[in-house]
Amino acid sequence: MKLRKVTAASAVLLALSVTATACGGDKKDDGGSSGGGKKIAIGIKYDQPGLGQKTPQGYAGLDVDVATYVAKKLGYNADQIEWKESKSADRETMLQRGDVDFIAATYSITPERQEKVDFAGPYLLAHQDVLIRADDSTIKSPADLNKKKLCSVTGSTSAQNVKDKLATKAQLQQYPTYSACLTGLQSKAIDALTTDDSILAGYASQSQFKGKFKLGGFKMTNENYGIGIKKGSDLKAKINKALEEMVADGSWKKAVDKNLGPAGYKNEPAPKIGDIKS
């Protein structure tokens, strides 16, 4: 009788052991700084054509290409990437909570942000610029925006910067989205759209807009796009090395030309790691 009790107990323990092992085998590695895990979580924008966009075919844009290259150098294949939408207002919080391993989302490096998170890079030097109709010969400098209808999205500071510093008589028009601004630009309801030149080039590179718009080339500000990581993470050095390799092997220039080139975007040379232009 005792023998049967011991045998039954052993069977129960064995079953529990097998169950625990099976459950443990399903646990996903979040990736972190070691690389080679089952998944790595990367934050991008979902709504910026040419930079970070979620499409029916998947994810596309310069930020996506940069992030994919970096992830590969960290030991992750494309199918091991878990893309997460990183809206501008959520980026620092997502990194601090550990929701993502890093963020590549037109993330300009600023002193205020550096107090909260670390940055690798920069990997692109962008500038505030304007987008105008391809046949417009009246806007050749920021001063020519005086008395022109200047559009930017609601809540953006870009248009206000122009009015405050460069064209005090510009007529500001706030639209809910960049796409709405583009439609207004096409219909001549507005004369110019302003934000980062990389963002403008991405929107203008869409197939329905090709050849209809051009960049002013005014370079009104410097925007140093970096890859955001949690403060103190050892990923910084690894990502910086990957970015250097991306430039060296030609992949960076290829990605810029593919995603932003159709709008006539004239990119700055690849920035040196740690070189932040004020």
DSSP 133-179: ETT--S--SGGGGTTSEEEEETT-SHHHHHHHHT-TT-EEEEESSHH
Burial class (CB in 10 A: 0-12, 13-18, 19+), 76: buried
| Structure confidence at residue 12 (pLDDT) | 40
Q: Is the pLDDT of residue 17 over 50?
A: no
**Domains of the chain: which residue ranges?**
40-126+223-263, 128-215
pLDDT digits (tens, 9 = 90+) for 216-273: 999 999 999 999 999 999 999 999 999 999 999 999 999 999 999 888 899 999 999 9
CATH class for the domain made up of 40-126+223-263: alpha beta
d(CA 186, CA 7): 81
Q: What percent of the chain has pLDDT over 70?
A: 87
pLDDT digits (tens, 9 = 90+) for 132-142: 999 999 999 99
Q: Are 275 and 225 in contact (CB under 8 A)?
A: no
| Structure confidence at residue 3 (pLDDT) | 42
**Does the domain at residues 128-215 carry the CATH identifier 3.40.50.10800?**
no
Structure-block tokens of residue 42: 């990367």
Domain 40-126+223-263 and domain 128-215, same fold? Reply is: yes
Mean pLDDT in residue range 20-41:
51
Q: What is the DSSP letter of 105?
A: S
| Structure confidence at residue 37 (pLDDT) | 54
> How confident is the prediction for the chain on average, in pLDDT?
88
Counting DSSP H helices and E strands in the chain, the numbers are 9, 13
Mean pLDDT in residue range 136-156:
93
| Structure confidence at residue 262 (pLDDT) | 86
What's the predicted TM-score (pTM) here? Answer: 0.82
Mean pLDDT in residue range 177-206:
94
Q: Is the pLDDT of residue 16 over 70?
A: no
Mean pLDDT in residue range 190-197:
96
Helices (H), 224-273: 235-248, 251-260
Q: Is the pLDDT of residue 33 over 90?
A: no
Burial profile 162-181: b = 16 or more Cβ within 10 angstroms, e = fewer: bbeebbeebbebebeebebb
| Structure confidence at residue 210 (pLDDT) | 86
pLDDT digits (tens, 9 = 90+) for 41-81: 999 999 999 999 999 999 999 999 999 999 999 999 999 99
Judged by average pLDDT, the poorest of 4-13, 192-201, 250-259 is 4-13
Q: What percent of the chain has pLDDT over 90?
A: 76
